[in-house]
Structure 1
Amino acid sequence: MKDHRRYDIDWLRVIAIGLLLIYHVAIGVQPWGRMIGFITSEDSWSTLWIPMTMLNVWRIPLLFFVSGMGVYFAMRKRSWKSLIVERGQRILLPYVFGMFAIVPIHLWLLRHYYGMSQSYTWSPGHLWFLGNIFCYVLLLSPLLFYLKQNETTKLATWIKKTLSQPWGLLFVLAAFVAEVMLLDPVPFELYALNWHGFVLGLLAFFFGFCFVLSGELFWKMIQKWRWAFLAIAGLLYGFRIAQYGSSIPGYLLAVESLAWIFAVLAFGSKHLNKPGKALNYLSEAAYPVYILHMAFLYLGSAWLFPLAIPVQLQFFGVLGITLGGSFGTFEIIRRVGFLRPLFGLKPVKRSPESLVLAKTAS
């Protein structure tokens, strides 16, 4: 496989972060949202949770898979040391900055809205995902570099051959089922700041890397079976809805989660592997928008939820404020050189002509 860029992976990252924003806004119109630290409306839109619960079992694991895929391409022109430095600049720096400068904003808004005592509190908050990713890079990079630089060895060849066949996905499934059986997470969908989320993310990150390592045979295989993945996912989701209120075994949720993810990867690789101006813009915006969105979500919630308007208008209003505020702030960040690295953006490269002009002016 040539190491050309896969635009479908970029699109899936953008789509996954977009779904995450919608999901977080939806929590604000659920009666239990305050229990997990969200500002919530006095009215609830319970039926909205039917499609949201479908997303809940695969939205975060998909991001971990996509992150592992991205590392494969990041390793193309980097040594182990340069990869760690680059990931530290792109992931660890925004994580630390956000933990001390961004997350406290929405925590302050939460306390202010509910009349709680105010104090400065730093926390990973929604940025826990970034901390996990950086840990995975540190832990797995020796193995990943070995596989990437020795793609003709027995181990790499076996991985490629196995993952090019549908039965090879049973090894992936077995790993995720084993994780659920050993850790017994309750609920399965709670990934933040616990061992279930860490181990599940580690597995997804590693297998995401292996999927890209396996090359075109893997992508052709999942495209061939895409409708089967979708059918399995749909059937298991239907079973969950039918059993609403009952405890669903964790291993079934793991199977459903992977079926959705395989279907999304398959349809994405078939239909989204195309460049474009929209993708270029959204790919750059996705990371800062993810970092910023909770502050604007809480601001919009505090403003709109007390208003005597239908809960559906509250939902779409908060969603509009979240998107508008996050993208508007991104437009400022992308134009301010010293802010860019704090939000995971690459520094702007100055052209040779601008350097010459700068030296001339000095």
Structure 2
Amino acid sequence: MTTERRHDIDWLRVIAIGLLLIYHIAIIFQPWALFVGFIKSDESLEALWTPMTMLNVWRIPLLFYVSGMGVYFAMRKRNWKQLLLERTKRILLPFAFGIVAIVPLHMFIFQKYYNMPLDYYAGQAHLWFLGNIFVYVLILLPLFYYLNKLGNGKIKSVLTSLMGHPGGPLLISLFFVIEVLLVKPQLFALYAQTWHGFFNGFLAFFFGFLLVYIGKAFWQTVLKWRWLYIGLAIIMYGVRYVLFGAEAPGYLMAIESNCWIFGVFGLGYKYLNKPSKTLNYLSKAVYPVYIIHMFVLYAGAMLILPLEMPILVKFICIVAFTGLGCYLIYEFIIRRIGFLRPLFGLKWKFGKAEKQKSILEY
């Protein structure tokens, strides 16, 4: 099993969570925000919907791919019992804590903003992602350890051969096409707490593991052909936007989704696979920030939306408020208070000499 440190995968996780925050803020300025449980601005910035429709077919699947890769790296130093214990502490504990203590915070803000009776509401909300990942780990762990036990056998050899060809990664898209044809989602990008989201995430998580398991063949392919995949994605997005008003048939969106992701993997492998102090910090911060970002975002919306200022300035202010608020809460509360750390997926111990580790090792 390779011990190569993959800084690009760390970076892609950080970038994907950053895009998630901005995407969620952009929802506030869409006419349909209330229908998905978001605070809604009285004025709309519908121009944001154009880049949002490009992002929404691949941003969540990318996170599932990267999460599957994370399991592979975590398996380097752990047997199945140790890994299951680690995943329970790192995923299930923050998931359970978030449901009862974090989600109710942004629901209180929502109720206050709309002058609703304040009521305690515990639910998955944006944390559905963590619940899915833990289930995937439980289901797939036996298969993952079995594949590792086989070593460089026939299965790995066949996969390496396939992924060494530019059409190899595109074959992966066929599984996602089959998923949408069978599940028939109402909207492709409706992932949260849907069967489509579950099975799409399951496939991405499984193939994420597989792509690092087989070695460098896949990465050399996406490195060489990254502009082919991005070009295909741009063409398919253009067709989708012009002919279908952003919601094309699911099988086309499944292919487009993976083309974006393979192109992003190629770009990341070329430009991001290097260590940095910034990455060391962000790779640990990104998980707690993901957990808390919704109530910080809602607080920013509650304070900023009523102000008299141009709508674009409001959007920028909420982005800044959310980013700064998440940083302050992470840096001065979550990171420094020992008993809080495991509730947000961090290790108990904190000190000046604490070694920053890649999130892939968790």
Alignment TM-score > 0.5, same fold: yes
Deviations 1:230-260 (A, max 9, x none): 1000011111221353751111100110000
Kept in 1, the 8 Å contact 2:187–2:247? The answer is no
Shift of 1:216: 1.3
Kept in 1, the 8 Å contact 2:335–2:350? The answer is no
Kept in 1, the 8 Å contact 2:230–2:263? The answer is yes
Deviations 1:337-358 (A, max 9, x none): 1111000112227899xxxxxx
**Residue type of the alignment partner of 2:148:** K
Q: What CA distance in whole angstroms lies between the structure 2 residues aligned with 1:49 and 1:96? A: 33
Kept in 1, the 8 Å contact 2:336–2:350? The answer is no
**Residue type of the alignment partner of 1:342:** L
- Once the two structures are superposed, the pairs formed by residues 121-270 of structure 1 within 5 Å of their partners are 121-243=121-243, 245=245, 247-270=247-270
Q: 1:319 corresponds to which residue?
A: 319
1:340 counterpart = 2:362: no
Secondary structure of residue in 2 paired with 1:31:
coil
Kept in 2, the 8 Å contact 1:11–1:279? The answer is yes
Q: 2:47 corresponds to which residue?
A: 47
Q: Which has the larger radius of gyration?
A: 1
**Residue type of the alignment partner of 2:342:** P
Kept in 2, the 8 Å contact 1:102–1:295? The answer is yes
285-294 or 159-168: bigger deviation = 159-168
Moved segments of 4+, more than 4 Å = 349-352
**Residue type of the alignment partner of 1:344:** G
Q: 2:12 corresponds to which residue?
A: 12
Deviations 1:236-295 (A, max 9, x none): 111122135375111110011000000000110111000010000100110011001000
Q: What CA distance in whole angstroms lies between the structure 1 residues aligned with 2:351 and 2:33? A: 46
Kept in 2, the 8 Å contact 1:160–1:213? The answer is no
Secondary structure of residue in 2 paired with 1:347:
coil
Q: What CA distance in whole angstroms lies between the structure 2 residues aligned with 1:297 and 1:351? A: 30
Q: What CA distance in whole angstroms lies between the structure 2 residues aligned with 1:247 and 1:208? A: 26
Deviations 1:313-346 (A, max 9, x none): 1111111111111110001211111111000112
113-122 or 251-260: bigger deviation = 113-122
Shift of 1:151: 1.8
Q: What CA distance in whole angstroms lies between the structure 2 residues aligned with 1:161 and 1:249? A: 31
Deviations 1:75-113 (A, max 9, x none): 001111110000000011000001100000001111111
Q: 2:23 corresponds to which residue?
A: 23
**Residue type of the alignment partner of 2:169:** L
Secondary structure of residue in 1 paired with 2:187:
coil
Q: What CA distance in whole angstroms lies between the structure 1 residues aligned with 2:57 and 2:170? A: 19
Q: What CA distance in whole angstroms lies between the structure 2 residues aligned with 1:300 and 1:334? A: 22
**Residue type of the alignment partner of 1:341:** P
Secondary structure of residue in 2 paired with 1:102:
helix
Q: What CA distance in whole angstroms lies between the structure 2 residues aligned with 1:84 and 1:103? A: 25
**Residue type of the alignment partner of 2:236:** L
Q: What CA distance in whole angstroms lies between the structure 2 residues aligned with 1:141 and 1:351? A: 35
Kept in 1, the 8 Å contact 2:176–2:203? The answer is yes
Identity of aligned residues (%): 54
Q: What CA distance in whole angstroms lies between the structure 2 residues aligned with 1:351 and 1:231? A: 46
**Residue type of the alignment partner of 2:27:** I
C-alpha spacing 1:106/1:162, structure 2 compared with 1 (3 Å): same
- Once the two structures are superposed, the pairs formed by residues 72-151 of structure 1 within 5 Å of their partners are 72-151=72-151
Kept in 1, the 8 Å contact 2:53–2:246? The answer is no
C-alpha spacing 1:349/1:286, structure 2 compared with 1 (3 Å): closer
Shift of 1:195: 0.7
Q: 1:358 corresponds to which residue?
A: none
Q: What CA distance in whole angstroms lies between the structure 2 residues aligned with 1:150 and 1:164? A: 20
Q: What CA distance in whole angstroms lies between the structure 2 residues aligned with 1:279 and 1:304? A: 31
Q: What CA distance in whole angstroms lies between the structure 2 residues aligned with 1:182 and 1:164? A: 29
Kept in 2, the 8 Å contact 1:72–1:209? The answer is yes
Secondary structure of residue in 2 paired with 1:186:
coil
Number of aligned residue pairs: give it: 352
Q: 2:358 corresponds to which residue?
A: none
- Once the two structures are superposed, the pairs formed by residues 58-73 of structure 1 within 5 Å of their partners are 58-73=58-73
Q: What CA distance in whole angstroms lies between the structure 1 residues aligned with 2:244 and 2:197? A: 23
Shift of 1:34: 1.1
Q: What CA distance in whole angstroms lies between the structure 2 residues aligned with 1:260 and 1:163? A: 17
Q: What CA distance in whole angstroms lies between the structure 1 residues aligned with 2:320 and 2:294? A: 13
C-alpha spacing 1:53/1:351, structure 2 compared with 1 (3 Å): closer
Kept in 2, the 8 Å contact 1:161–1:214? The answer is no
Instruction: Let me know the Cα RMSD of the aligned residues.
Output: 1.5
Shift of 1:163: 2.1
Kept in 1, the 8 Å contact 2:169–2:218? The answer is no
**Residue type of the alignment partner of 2:223:** Q
Secondary structure of residue in 2 paired with 1:117:
coil
Kept in 1, the 8 Å contact 2:237–2:256? The answer is yes
